[in-house]
């Protein structure tokens, strides 16, 4: 009987481990190559690049990634207007050469968002704390949607604001 109970506990524990979402950040990824590829894709698709810098160690990073990939209001804007990538910052790999190229966004804490245009020019760095919900432990969908709309291709194109 004891062996059966132990076997069942091990089985349940294993199932719980596999049922969790995979960790989104890859400390071994080549961040420079990922950014270069994203910029090329953004140029081709007339989008901007949305870089989320953070790590699997950061609960706020994981919360935002989950929102960005599952909350329809956010996910749909990202898919329509951005090439979305994650850049790891952790004890295993701080990607300091990339942080330098992005003008040290890590100064804002984590996660931090960097928007690049289709030529790789940095347009904006966003402190994620400004996107948090005031009363809940998470991000405010309205604030995130506003942020994304304020930095999409159309929003930063001067032609959007000049009359014909």
What is the model's pLDDT at position 73?
Answer: 97
Residue identified by tokens 């928007």 is 115
Contacts of 117 (CB under 8 A, 6+ apart): 42, 48, 49, 123, 153, 156
What is the model's pLDDT at position 136?
Answer: 85
Q: For residue range 102-119, what is the model confidence (pLDDT) as tens digits?
A: 999 999 999 999 999 999
Measure the CA–CA gap between 115 and 102, rounded to whole angstroms. Answer: 10
Instruction: Judge whether 117 lies within some domain.
Output: yes
Q: What's 141's domain CATH number?
A: 3.40.30.10
Instruction: Judge whether 11 lies within some domain.
Output: no
Boundaries of domain holding 73: 39-155
User: Bridge partners of 86?
Assistant: 52
Instruction: Judge whether 82 lies within some domain.
Output: yes
Angle at 156 between CA 153 and CA 160, to 5 degrees: 90
User: Bridge partners of 48?
Assistant: 82
- Which residues in the chain come in under a pLDDT of 50? 17-19
Number of domains in the chain: 1
Which has the closest alpha carbon to 107: 85, 129, 86? 129
What is the model's pLDDT at position 18?
Answer: 46
């Amino acid at each position: 009987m004891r062996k059966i109970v132990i076997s069942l506990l091990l089985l349940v524990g294993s199932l719980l481990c596999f049922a969790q979402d995979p960790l989104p950040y890859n400390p071994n990824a080549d961040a420079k190559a990922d950014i270069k590829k994203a910029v090329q894709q953004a140029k081709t698709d007339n989008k901007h690049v949305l870089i989320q810098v953070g790590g699997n160690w950061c609960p706020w990073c994981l919360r935002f990634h989950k929102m960005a990939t599952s909350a329809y209001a956010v996910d749909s804007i990202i898919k329509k207007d951005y090439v979305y990538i994650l850049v790891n910052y952790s004890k295993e790999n701080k990607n300091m050469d990339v942080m330098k190229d992005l003008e040290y966004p890590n100064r804002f804490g984590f996660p931090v968002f960097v928007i690049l245009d289709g030529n790789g020019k940095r347009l904006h760095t966003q402190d994620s704390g400004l996107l948090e919900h005031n009363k809940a432990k998470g991000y405010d969908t309205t604030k995130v949607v506003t942020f994304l709309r304020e930095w999409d291709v159309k929003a930063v194109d001067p032609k959007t604001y000049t009359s014909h």
